[in-house]
Amino acid sequence: MSGLDGAPSGPDRDHYSYAHYANRQVAEGFDALRFSGPIGQLLLDTQEALLLNALAPMAGRRVLDVGTGTGRAAIGLAKAGATVTGVDASNEMLEVARIRAKEADVRVDFAPGDAHALPFTDRTFDAAISLRVLMHTPDWRRCVTELCRISRWKVIADFPAQLSFAALESGARRLRRSLGGTTEAYRVIAEADVRQLFVEQGYTITSIHRQFVLPIALHKSINSLRITQASEGLLRNLGLLRLLGSPVTMVAER
């Protein structure tokens, strides 16, 4: 995720998510920060497998990636045969995304767009995805409503769960920011609230995927795929993934 839009208007333009990603250094270092090493690759592989499974068959699908960032998800979908549009807040992030798509030799239409007011008519796309976005937006409910509006079939979105270890990090970041610190003070969201909003928009939740019990930052600091798989496997067998797993990825179908 890299933000919301490139338009001059929108809710709470002073929100950190607009300014943080409108930075060339942040954009150029985004992939290395989020997706480097074995844990970063695991995150990417899991994300791509989930998307391809949920949206299959991909050939000819029209997909909108909201908060596309450096275009990782969009490029993967385009490689699989989808017709993909990626929108984002940051022109700097979009510049990196265009370079990534060119290197991958795939076509993706990258453009500015506001997650709170997407510049498309109802049901323009077969599906809309939004990954690592709701946690940062000023108004996540409005964003989900827009995703539902422009999709004729499926919406896929993820968020850090309110009942998870991510809530501790979120609280610490919000405190730091309130004291004048600079950080991405993301929110956690109750799974029931997201589910209810999808239902209100006429969608049914068809699948839910929970990634980790332990914080992603901890797994990255250890930097061992073997330890991550072993520890998470144990916690899953104990039933803790269902209770405390995060981030949560929901697939909703109209």
* For residue 11, pLDDT beyond 60: no
Rg (C-alpha) for the chain, rounded Å, is 17
pLDDT single digits (tens) 117-150? 999 999 999 999 999 999 999 999 999 999 999 9
DSSP H or E stretch at residue 198? helix 191-200
Domain boundaries, given as residue ranges, for the chain: 16-253
DSSP H or E stretch at residue 83? strand 83-88
CATH architecture of 16-253: 3-Layer(aba) Sandwich (3.40)
β-pairing, 83-88 vs 62-66, is parallel
Q: Is the pTM of this model over 0.85?
A: yes
Q: How confident is the model at residue 1 (pLDDT cuts 50, 70, 90)?
A: very low
* For residue 10, pLDDT beyond 60: no
pLDDT single digits (tens) 182-233? 777 789 999 999 999 999 999 999 999 999 999 999 999 999 999 999 999 9
Give the chain's largest Cα–Cα span.
Answer: 49
pLDDT single digits (tens) 61-114? 999 999 999 999 999 999 999 999 999 989 999 999 999 999 999 999 999 998
CB of 66 closer than 8 Å to CB of 130: yes
